[in-house]
Structure 1
Amino acid sequence: MPFEHSPILQSIAQQCHRYEAMGTAAILAVKSSEVAFQPDPSCNSLGTLVKHMHGNMRSRFVNFMQEDGEKDWRERDDEFVNSFETQEELLKAWEEAWKVFWDAVEPFSDTDLDRVVYIRSEPHSILHALHRHMAHNAYHVGQMIYLAKMLRKEEWKSLSIPVGKSEEFTQKKRAEAKRALAEGDLRPDLDLNQITLPSRDLAKSVEFYEHLGAILIVDSLPRYARFWVPNGGTTFSLHHVEEPLHDPRTVIYFECRDVDAQVERLKSLGMEFLSDPTDERWLWREARLKDPDGHEICLYHAGVNRVNPPWKVQP
């Protein structure tokens, strides 16, 4: 399986294969005489949608690492003028566009995700560029399906859970998961994404963590506050306590793409560090400081070595 050692890339590939297949189903559902159909003059036809996505994918992923994703030869405005006449032409262009995409991304591994590419001179990590690609495809594939469904009416075959079958589908999936768990084929669902810390001065601590880059999402001062860390989707919270905090062994880790730049920024805000950025023997680059309550904070970058270090336990 492609990307078998990269859960992130594997997840992106699964979704992209899904969008590709859904777009193919929409194309196969229409007749050649319907390629240029527009429900309204302001709307795109299936032909213009495929032409636009074909142009977009070729521009973005031809010479993906070497050239800007907005190529000089691209004529974006012309992509919204349909030039397809048959279903076969649509399908050929659709398959060609996706081949360009897959040829560009299949060599990647987790170590590539932080590398930088450019789209209209704007820097993107490869991970950001792939997420941008997924969002763009999801937007337009949805339009393709809507048009195909409008044209086929009652003949349309649902690509998701049919109306009226939601409960049946849910019960089926639950039964499958229960059976797989009983047979040892599925691990219990587990995701560590929330930590709560005690704090004697929430106001100071809230200011500290906002400076770090966390986003305050629950403000119940002076009793409680919760933050969201957008890059990983994790949340953590602070709750007020009166008693002294005695345990110095707890360390909270925040990963950042550029530890040195983050440390420099925080020092400019007056924060003092226990240690400056250092390459550790476990292949993480770390810097440490303390929050107002004395909790030790580690800012680090591990990249692939967080989950897949060279000494990872092999199954």
Structure 2
Amino acid sequence: MTIALQYSQVTVNDVDESLAFYRDALGLEVHNDVASGPYRWVTLGSPTQPDVEIVLSEPHAGRSPADGDAMQELLVKGALPIIVFRTDDVDAMFEKVRAAGAEVLQEPTDQAWGPRDCAFRDPSGNMVRFLQAPPR
């Protein structure tokens, strides 16, 4: 039996604004864009690992009004889970994302536990980290 991550949900305030970050600044490719009533889901993946995806959607998409309100509250607080991407060049990724105008939370840093990483906020306030494994 095998197991692999297929996709992970990323809740955002505005799908179009978030596309400018995840597609244009990070370089992810749009795999699917599905409308459902007043909402939509956009699935993006890495050009080098197209079978692992993220799905962007708004807090109320596919949720009850109460659950959507709760998600919106967590999103506004910046309390949703961190998104972590792996890269082979964290410094180049940092410069690319910073040049796109993303809010910098942490410049590239060598961590005591091994990796080099940096952090930004996406347009909705989610923390997005980029991690580079230490040399072997």
In the alignment, which residue of structure 2 is the partner of 1:251? 82
Q: In structure 2, do the counterparts of structure 1 residues 303 and 216 end up closer, same or farther at CA, with 3 Å as the change threshold? A: farther
Contact 2:32 2:44 (C-alpha < 8 Å) held by counterparts? yes
Instruction: Flag the structure with larger Rg.
Output: 1
Per the TM alignment, residue 220 of structure 1 is displaced from its structure 2 partner at its CA by 2.6
1:229 corresponds to which letter in structure 2? S
Deviates more, 1:293-302 or 1:240-249: 240-249
Per the TM alignment, residue 279 of structure 1 is displaced from its structure 2 partner at its CA by 0.5
Q: 2:10 aligns with which of 197, 200, 207?
A: 197
Per the TM alignment, residue 201 of structure 1 is displaced from its structure 2 partner at its CA by 0.8
In the alignment, which residue of structure 2 is the partner of 1:237? 55
Q: 1:219 aligns with which of 15, 33, 37?
A: 33
Per the TM alignment, residue 286 of structure 1 is displaced from its structure 2 partner at its CA by 0.5
| Higher percent of residues as helix | 1
Distance 1:303 1:231 in 2: 20
Aligned residues: 118
Q: TM-score, normalised by structure 1?
A: 0.35
Structure 1: state its 5+ residue gaps: 1-187, 306-315
Q: In structure 2, do the counterparts of structure 1 residues 292 and 303 end up closer, same or farther at CA, with 3 Å as the change threshold? A: same
Contact 1:194 1:237 (C-alpha < 8 Å) held by counterparts? yes
RMSD: 2.0
| SS class of match (1:223) | strand
Per the TM alignment, residue 303 of structure 1 is displaced from its structure 2 partner at its CA by 5.4
Structure 2: state its 5+ residue gaps: 61-68
Deviates more, 1:268-277 or 1:233-242: 233-242
Give CA-to-partner distance per residue, 1:13-43, whole Å, 9 cap, x none: xxxxxxxxxxxxxxxxxxxxxxxxxxxxxxx
Contact 1:245 1:293 (C-alpha < 8 Å) held by counterparts? no
| Pair 1:283-2:114 in alignment | yes
Per the TM alignment, residue 255 of structure 1 is displaced from its structure 2 partner at its CA by 1.1
Give CA-to-partner distance per residue, 1:229-260, whole Å, 9 cap, x none: 12233111112224314162511111111111
In the alignment, which residue of structure 2 is the partner of 1:209? 22
Contact 2:102 2:122 (C-alpha < 8 Å) held by counterparts? no
2:4 corresponds to which letter in structure 1? D
Give CA-to-partner distance per residue, 1:180-230, whole Å, 9 cap, x none: xxxxxxxx3211231012222111111110111111111235411000112
Distance 2:135 2:55 in 1: 27
In the alignment, which residue of structure 1 is the partner of 2:65? none
| SS class of match (1:192) | coil
Q: TM-score, normalised by structure 2?
A: 0.76
Percent of aligned pairs sharing the same letter: 25
Per the TM alignment, residue 277 of structure 1 is displaced from its structure 2 partner at its CA by 0.2
In the alignment, which residue of structure 2 is the partner of 1:298? 129
| SS class of match (2:105) | strand
Q: In structure 2, do the counterparts of structure 1 residues 285 and 216 end up closer, same or farther at CA, with 3 Å as the change threshold? A: same
Contact 2:11 2:56 (C-alpha < 8 Å) held by counterparts? yes
Distance 2:55 2:12 in 1: 10
